Amino acid sequence: MLNPTLPQVASLFIDNQWISSDVSKPAFNPFNGESIGRVFECSPELLDLALAAARRGAELAAAMPARERAGKLHRAADNVRAHAQELALVMAVETGKPVRDGRTEVLRSADTLDLAAQEGLRIEGRHIPMDSSAIGAGKLGVSLRFPVGVVAAITPFNAPVNLTAHKLGPAWAAGNSVILKPSAQAALTLQKYVEILLEGGIPPEWLQLVQGDQAAAALVRAPQVDFISFTGSSGVGELIKAGSGLKRVALELGGVGHTIVAQDAVLEDCAPVCAINGMRLAGQSCISVQNVCVHRSLYDGFLERIAASVGALKTGNPLDEATDVGPVISEHSAARILTLVDEARRDGAQRVCGGARAGALVQPTLLAGVPADARVVRQEVFGPVVNVMPYDDIEAVFRQINAGPFGLQAGIFTQSIGLAMTAMRRLRMGGVIVNGSSTWRSDQAPYGGVKDSGMGREGPKFAIREMTEERFVVFNA
């Protein structure tokens, strides 16, 4: 195990300067509870400076040719790759993410920046056939896309680097500037990431970095902000939408990770996938496998296999390369997770394994026979807990899933193309993964949910469309 050199403070980056403020909060290592630094909070006066700088930066970014913007993104991506191990170690200490997973995330973020650079070269409009109406005859109509201006990017702790790249990359590729407000629980990681991006050649005018919940609330209301991109809980997403006025927003929110194991599924394929994708990242992913619905004829065999896979996972220090499951983000979060587990057990669920914690380290927990109305099923757990429930009628499963408030992603394991097509049509989700679990995302693909799981789509091509606005131009003869 290595002991990384951490930034001592998470500073603010405003108008090309790293600065502090009069107010700061401590940052803690979730694995051992030790203090690891402080996070400065952005005052209203400093936020005004950041907003003014962002407006100037938006003009500069929009004026730069797309090819030059793409080149800067590619060079920044290369620098991120060169610092992958360093950044993964900081992330492991600050967020508890196992260093192996952190390294994978950092490298994915570099790919995301490259993908955004490529898509920025393909922003295109379209010809509108004006001769189709009498009033338009003889005119030339084209629809073009232009950058929105200033993007406020509010990012979470659970995949802090790549989820930030999914906002920064498309915004910059489209010609916008960004004010970034990361989670306080990943502030040191994001400071290091911003340093690496700037060192890689990202123009400082493109980015302002602020900290603090008050700054986030002010960004949502600020008239200088043209677009808000948020990843986080459904409750906060609802507040952002309510407070943003007529600004456009993209909200990537929560989910309860349903995965269906159909009667014809191959248990050797689906059980290990559900185990790993329910427990990796300590279950702190909005598409983490949380609820597995298994046909009753396969239920006992599936339960045996998933329990064996869960039992083989190593839980412990995130700096250990062998660790599969590290701590959740805080002891408070761990206590909340165990409250849901204990409540489900009182309602009749059986604990197959796990169900305990040491500080913020929650044992990977497998529950069987969980009542469908239990909070551990209906609410987003955001922890290493998987509920396994038998079913007899798959149509009833479809109805049960659709009746819930979330609609992010679902998975189904089946050898029947007909059933796969039925699931695709019936499940009201942002994504349906066939012969895979709910936990799957490729960075170039459209990603997002419906209902309480959000609105808008990420993935560089789709985020660029969100972060540009359409302008119709008519040429009269």
Residues 278 and 153: their CA atoms lie apart, in Å, by 27
- Across 150-273, the runs of DSSP E, i.e. the strands, are 150-154, 177-181, 207-209, 227-231, 248-252, 258-261
What end-to-end distance do the CA atoms of the chain give, in Å?
A: 72
Give Cβ neighbours of residue 21 (< 8 Å, ≥ 6 apart): 12, 40, 41, 42, 43, 46
- Strands 357-358, 361-362: pairing is antiparallel
CA-nearest of 461, 437, 435 to 447 is: 461
Residues 456 and 447: their CA atoms lie apart, in Å, by 8
Residues 337 and 364: their CA atoms lie apart, in Å, by 11
Verify whether residue 252 is a known catalytic residue: yes
- Say if residues 364 and 353 touch (Cβ distance below 8 Å): yes
Residues 225 and 81: their CA atoms lie apart, in Å, by 31
- Say if residues 180 and 209 touch (Cβ distance below 8 Å): yes
Q: How many CB atoms lie within 10 A of CB 405?
A: 14
Catalytic residue among 41, 94, 195, 252: 252
- Across 182-297, the runs of DSSP E, i.e. the strands, are 207-209, 227-231, 248-252, 258-261, 291-295
- DSSP letter assigned to residue 363: P
- Across 30-174, the runs of DSSP E, i.e. the strands, are 35-40, 126-128, 140-147, 150-154
Catalytic residue among 41, 286, 293, 458: 286
Tell the burial category of 475 from Cβ atoms under 10 Å away from its Cβ (0-12, 13-18, 19+): exposed
Active-site residue list:
252, 286
